[in-house]
Amino acid sequence: MSTRSILTPLLRPHHILIVPRIRFLFSTSPHASSSSATTSPTAKPKSPKRPVSSCKAGTKLTGLAVLKDQPDPVALPDDQYPDWLWTVLDKDESRSQPLNVTSTSGEPVDFAKEKRKLRAMNRQNIKASNYFKST
């Protein structure tokens, strides 16, 4: 018995399952270690001290041109760079902890299971599409 004869009853037009793209609604539960929510609103935020740049203002940064025809960029004074730039390489404890992702119904999400489901649905749609192309 060939594979085509087995799949033929499943691939009839009234059996085709067209599945729209699924968007999952996830919510992340807050981490238990978030201490920012417990601070009083009257407390002044600490201004982080910026580290000193490794190169002085006006230094030509050779080899960092984005495009081939552009001249090499020149380093700016430290106060002209945005504040977030100085924290990019800092170790952040919240990034190292895994996210607790839950579905809208409140149960934990099994990403491997969802991926298997989507792959099976995609495989079924591909088979149906191939069947229609062959007829």
Element (DSSP H or E) covering residue 95 = helix 93-96
Q: Tell me what the mean pLDDT of segment 11-36 comes to.
A: 49
**Does residue 34 carry a pLDDT above 50?**
no
Residue 75 belongs to some domain of the structure: yes
Residue 95 belongs to some domain of the structure: no
Domain count, the chain: 1
State the pLDDT at residue 129. Answer: 95
Residue 38 belongs to some domain of the structure: no
Residue 66 belongs to some domain of the structure: yes
What is d(CA 81, CA 57) in angstroms, rounded to the nearest whole number? 11
Residue 80 belongs to some domain of the structure: yes
> What share of the chain has pLDDT > 90, as a percent?
29
State the pLDDT at residue 109. Answer: 84
Residue 23 belongs to some domain of the structure: no
Q: What is the domain range of residue 81?
A: 53-90
Residue 62 belongs to some domain of the structure: yes
Q: What is the dihedral of CA 52, 56, 60, 65, to 10 degrees?
A: 20
**Does residue 57 carry a pLDDT above 70?**
yes
